[in-house]
Amino acid sequence: MTKRETYESRTEAYLLPLLSQHGFTLWDVEYVKEGSNWYLRAYIDKEGGITVDDCERISRPLSDWLDKEDFIDDSYILEVSSPGLGRPLKKDKDFERSIGQDVEIRLFKAVGGQKEFAGTLTAFDKDTVTVTLEDGTGRSFERAGIALIRLAFDF
């Protein structure tokens, strides 16, 4: 397990019971470097959406726990937030909870002259993602060829 994966999994293990106490779910934990800064981000959700107060309710005990455990070597910025409307699907658990929902897919390379597709997520495995397109046809995409897949949203 890489350092990044260790930090994310330890943080996730701490967060799951805490979030459950408040009726929240964990969307993702990521440890990433942006520019010269490291970020530890926890994305949380609940029915009806997350508020700033909800984020604070989780951020305070998480920050205290991280200070006490002190297992992250680098200086980092802690962020707790909602995953947002256009949530990218990254991990298998993201795909699992999004089966039956509308998604937008952007490919690295065009397929049939097209790089963007929209449809309903119907299946996935470690190599492919399958959607029912807006015209009712099913289509599978290689996961390695997907630049971005996210939940679709309408305004």
In this prediction, residues 88-110 reach a mean pLDDT of 91
Whether 87 is in a domain gets the answer no
* Band of pLDDT at residue 154, cut at 50, 70 and 90: low
The confidence score (pLDDT) of residue 105 equals 95
Task: Write the single-letter amino acid at 70.
Answer: D
- 115 found inside a domain: yes
CA dihedral 49→51→53→59, nearest 10 degrees, is 70
Provide the domain limits for residue 147. 92-151
What is the reported pLDDT for 134?
A: 87
pLDDT at 155 over 60: no
pTM of the entire predicted model: 0.73
Which residues, in sequence order, are CB contacts of 63 under 8 Å at separation 6+? 78
CA atoms within 13 A on the CB side of 102: 9
What pLDDT, on a 0 to 100 scale, did the predictor assign at position 153?
76
Contacts of 146 (CB under 8 A, 6+ apart): 105, 106, 107, 108, 129
Distances (CA, A) of 37 to 62, 74, 76, 117, 124: 19, 9, 6, 34, 34
75 and 98 in a single domain? The answer is no
Inter-CA distances, 42 with 16, 52, 80, 87, Å: 11, 13, 5, 13
pLDDT band at 84 (very low <50, low <70, confident <90, very high): confident
Residue 86 belongs to some domain of the structure: no
- The total domain count for the chain is 2
Does the pLDDT of residue 57 top 90, yes or no? yes
Decide if pLDDT at 48 tops 90. Answer: no
Same structural domain for residues 14 and 42? yes
CA distances from 53 to 48, 49, 62 (A): 14, 12, 14
Mean pLDDT for the stretch of residues 63-72: 97
> Does 66 lie in the same domain as 104?
no
